[in-house]
Structure 1
Amino acid sequence: MTNNTRIWQFISDGTRFKLVETGNSRTMDEGSQHLSGGVYTTLRTFEHERALRLEDHFDRLEHSAELQGKHVVIPRYSLRSGLCEVLDYFPESDVRLRIHCAFVENGEIRVYILAEKFTPYPESLYENGVAVKSIDYQRENPIAKATNFIDQTSELRKTKPASIHEYILVAKDGTLLEGMTSNIFIVKEGKIWTAEKGVLPGITRQIVLEVIAAAGFETILSGYPRNEVNFAEEAFITSASRGVLPVTKFDNQNVGEGIPGMITRQIRSDYLLWLKKELRPI
């Protein structure tokens, strides 16, 4: 397999910076696994050099580090400049970016930028929906976006059948938490359910919640019971790389009529319109 992900160490004194390319890896997750553990955030660009809520990503890095007992202050201005320099290595495409703050044994915190060409999901997935499978699994510290989750779920990711787009984590009480790399929303009787506790507070999830509120739908911030998914009318997952992606099969059973529903299609359409207004240069 081709090494698609390039890795740079970002070195800064707060105003000046330099990038030192340290290697590459087949995937972004493998790149993170080769670095010291820590916290990370992942995003994609639009129109090559525009992004969504980059400040929120910086905030999440600092907060995730705090939850791990580490004090991290992101040099935001210089890191933005470093990200722009990385984009120059991918002149004709959008880019998937990861900022990885590695906790080194001597107490040092090193910042790395991982980058690869971003390939959008095919439109056919949005037209037909995807299949997901539930698994009894929970994050140790769901609020923190820590790299140990990548290590802990590595084998699950490698052995996931090609027919399954995403695994959905299920809480001990049997309610749906989130996808392994996404958040999940369930639509029943015009109301939209999504877990609030026990999940990583995804940045795309927050945007979608704002879109849902603006569209006038009621949101229930609670995990939907797995044993009642057969009564749901629609479902979708959200993430930075997917946006709003319909789910039409859950544990090998159709969700609703087995096609993307009207509410899901409206939320995705509204989300895409929201993007056009909210994108900002890195």
Structure 2
Amino acid sequence: MQAIQFFNGKFVPKESITFSIDDVGVLRGFGIFDYFKVYNGAPAFMEAHLNRFESSALLLGMEIPFSRNEIETAIFKIIQHNEFPLSGVKVLMTGGASPDGFSAGKPNLVITNTAVSETNPSFYAEGVSLMTHQFTREMPQVKTTNYATAVRLEPIWKQKGHIDVLYHDGHYISEVSRSNVFLVEGNKLITNEEGVLPGITRMNVVNLAPQLGFVVEVRPIALSEVLAAQEVFITSTNKKVMPVVKIDDQEIADGKVGAKTKLLMEGYAKLLAEETKQPSFQN
């Protein structure tokens, strides 16, 4: 059975989705998206992701051409039709075809549902490493389609054996290109919020942490503090709670996955299983 997607009110194969070359999403990078996982037909934290999508549109002054109910109905229709055991849903809106090469036009709304694979389990058992790069994202609170810096840097971090890049301004960190950052110091869980995308997994971990005995501190974090931390991990829809054991050439503590990070990994796995009504999750 051929998979279907949603494009401006119609349900079509992915190959039938086309954009004008004059779309400001193509010409000027003027577009937003959000993304969440679906487990055996059950979306994970869909409402929170759609809330963020609406917030991104508002902050960019974009008008979503369909109602929340219409978008949710379309999402469930393509999920039920495609029947993927594990998949991702991406809700994407571009600025539309421009009359003059600069001004926005009528927005395009696309919702795709694509089968995905599980993340490499060794990333959770052994931890991962990050490369650092001095860079400040424009409008970090908006989930835009502009990932030019990360796409440019990807071949470099892969060549060096890293899985992603940690941005900083020369003193304070902001975020990883597609993830939020946490430090563990004793029973304190530290994360930042200024200059970062309000991650949905981040939000869930912040809410979960006190139940697991952590005191949450939300404040700016210096790069030097990250390098000296007892434990570091990153969070995102795809990565969930992923331990970081090395940054550039420096190991974090003893270079192994920490006990507190493991506790949060297990706690988030249970939360995700409850949300999607699955028997269990393993990192």
What range is the shorter-chain TM-score in?
Answer: 0.7 to 0.9
Deviation at 1:132, TM superposition (A): 0.8
CA contact (8 A) 1:132 1:166 kept: yes
Query: Any idea what the Cα deviations from partners look like across 1:53-102, whole Å, max 9, x if unmatched?
Result: 21222221111111112232652333223223333564343111211011
Among residues 38, 59, 76, which one is paired with 1:84 in the alignment? 76
Deviation at 1:229, TM superposition (A): 2.9
Deviation at 1:216, TM superposition (A): 2.3
Deviation at 1:129, TM superposition (A): 0.4
Please name the residue that 1:11 is paired with.
8
Among residues 139, 142, 153, which one is paired with 2:140 in the alignment? 142
How far apart are the structure 1 equivalents of 2:16 and 2:135?
Answer: 30
RMSD of aligned residue pairs (Cα, Å): 2.5
How far apart are the structure 2 equivalents of 1:97 and 1:134?
Answer: 29
Share of identical aligned residues, percent? 26
Q: Aligned pair count? A: 261
Q: Secondary structure at the match of 1:62?
A: helix
Please name the residue that 2:36 is paired with.
43
Among residues 38, 47, 64, which one is paired with 1:72 in the alignment? 64
Among residues 232, 235, 240, which one is paired with 1:235 in the alignment? 232
Query: Any idea what the Cα deviations from partners look like across 1:152-182, whole Å, max 9, x if unmatched?
Result: 432123443251011111135x112111011
CA contact (8 A) 2:131 2:157 kept: no
TM-score computed with the length of structure 1 as normaliser: 0.84
CA contact (8 A) 2:5 2:111 kept: yes
How far apart are the structure 2 equivalents of 1:249 and 1:180?
Answer: 16
TM-score computed with the length of structure 2 as normaliser: 0.83
**Which deviates further from its counterpart, 33-42 or 156-165?**
33-42
In structure 1, what residue type is equivalent to 2:64?
Answer: V
CA contact (8 A) 1:7 1:21 kept: yes
Among residues 193, 201, 205, which one is paired with 1:204 in the alignment? 201
CA contact (8 A) 2:187 2:213 kept: no
The gaps in structure 2 that reach 5 residues or longer are 18-24, 100-104, 279-283
The gaps in structure 1 that reach 5 residues or longer are 1-5, 13-17, 26-32
How far apart are the structure 2 equivalents of 1:280 and 1:144?
Answer: 30
CA contact (8 A) 1:7 1:24 kept: no
Please name the residue that 1:28 is paired with.
none
Please name the residue that 1:56 is paired with.
48
Please name the residue that 1:15 is paired with.
none
Q: Secondary structure at the match of 1:45?
A: strand
CA contact (8 A) 1:62 1:73 kept: no
